[in-house]
A = this chain, B = another copy of it.
Amino acid sequence: MPDSWIDPSPDTGFDLNTLPYGVFDVGGDEGAGTRVGTAIGPHVLDLGAAARATGSPHADVLGAPNLDALLAAGRPVWERVRAELVEWLTDPAHEAAVRPHLVDRDAVRLHLPFTVADYVDFYASEHHATNVGRIFRPDQAPLTPNWKHLPIGYHGRSGTIVVSGTDIVRPTGQRKPPTEPVPVFGPSARLDIEAEVGFVVGTPSAMGERVGVDDFADHVFGVFLLNDWSSRDLQAWEYVPLGPFLGKSFATSVSPWIVPLGALEAARVDQPVQDPEPLPYLRGERPWGLDLRLEVRLNGHVVSRPPFAQMYWTAAQQLAHMTVNGASLRTGDVYASGTVSGPEVGQRGCLLELSWSGKEPIRLPDGTERTFLEDGDEVTITATAPGAHGGTVHFGEVTGRILPAR
């Protein structure tokens, strides 16, 4: 890949390997509304303005107030727009037209980048599911009989998906400690994170139609990070028989920069061997394992490095499963991987696992201990992946701080 005419220092991670899409406004300038941008070096490039200045055929989708129009435009447009961004940022002939539309990244406020339609959360890490099974159902086999036959998932609450940086109020509700005969009411005492990877659908599908596992890249626009905040005590009391509800629905945080699938070609890897072999509708030509390396920080200290390449089910298999019954897709549908946990203790993607349900507190370098989250705690998830020509794709971060229960 040629170099950009933009000075890469200071190194902020976002170079030509990523070119993610986000939605921003400039502080103190709310009246101007939100705009679509890409992160490059220490800047955000206003893509609508750059498109108009260069006479781009994509000025309409890039000049919209959010990513909805670009998502709906479909894969050929996604590919042409990405190629156009590279051209703008590498060809010195475009510098004069494009440079005026660079905004200092520190000066912008980032927004939820698209309108969320439905939200599905999967449960695709064998290590996570095994650990949770051992903790929640110690008298049974850790994996349920269906787990290796289908990617287990459930619908979450779209309306409480919030952008990184949004404060999270500690949820309140019913929980039943084992020592109590009846449920008690109050703030959750076991508030947790789940480090996940999210996917957003661009191209919809019709009701009654299936999307094949090899059609993944025709429908999914991009990838981002997601923190599926979880109240373990609310969840444990409510989830039998119809699954998680209030233990999850209070908030889900997402990173503001959507990394297009086109940036992840070099990150594709084989997924773990699936035994038993899944049914034909879950088998693809070429696997969609993705070598994303996550990092979870609690109050600035790294507490886990979950390896996404270890996920048992891929996002392509999840999409095929989600639609095999004829359920339609809409532009803006979000689905998430489920907690990313690797085989090692230091690769577990939630505190439930890291502290083994509170029995083994984790020690932070500042001398404090944690089992679950305390008020004021801040959690940040970041990730990188291999880019083209030895480069690195960056996902930015999803962060959130816990406020006391109201």
B residues within 8 A CB of A249? 155, 322, 325, 327
The answer, yes or no, to whether A239 is at the interface (CB within 8 Å) is yes
CB of A155 within 8 A of CB of B245, answer yes
CB of A169 within 8 A of CB of B246, answer no
The answer, yes or no, to whether A333 is at the interface (CB within 8 Å) is yes
Contact of A208 among B169, B188, B208, B243 (CB under 8 A): B169
B residues within 8 A CB of A326? 169, 171-172, 250-251, 406
Contact of A154 among B183, B209, B242 (CB under 8 A): B242
Contact of A324 among B150, B246, B276, B325 (CB under 8 A): B246
Provided the pairs A117-B158, A406-B326 are in contact, do residues A242 and B241 lie with their beta carbons within 8 angstroms?
no
CB of A281 within 8 A of CB of B185, answer yes
A315-349 interface bits toward B, Cβ cutoff 8 Å, 1 = contact, 0 = none: 00000011011111110010000000000000000
CB of B123 within 8 A of CB of A242, answer yes
CB of B171 within 8 A of CB of A325, answer yes
* Count of A interface residues, CB-CB < 8 Å: 69
The answer, yes or no, to whether A1 is at the interface (CB within 8 Å) is no
B residues within 8 A CB of A244? 154, 242-243
User: Which of A137, A155, A158, A249 has the most chain B CB within a 10 Å cutoff?
Assistant: A155
A239: shortest Cβ distance to chain B, in Å?
7
Given contacts A145-B176, A249-B325, could you give 15 more A-B pairs where the C-beta distance is less than 8 Å? A137-B241, A146-B240, A149-B176, A152-B245, A154-B243, A159-B327, A159-B329, A160-B207, A162-B207, A169-B208, A174-B324, A239-B243, A240-B241, A246-B322, A250-B325
10 contacts between A and B (CB under 8 A): A120-B245, A149-B182, A152-B238, A158-B158, A169-B207, A169-B208, A207-B250, A240-B241, A250-B325, A326-B406
Point out residues on A near B: beta carbons under 8 Å.
Answer: 117-120, 123, 133, 136-137, 144-146, 149-150, 152-160, 162, 169, 171-174, 176, 182-183, 185, 188, 207-210, 231, 234, 237-247, 249-251, 276, 279-281, 321-322, 324-330, 333, 403, 406
Going nearest first, the 10 A-B pairs with the smallest beta carbon separation are: A243-B243, A171-B325, A169-B208, A155-B155, A246-B325, A154-B242, A242-B243, A249-B327, A250-B325, A159-B330
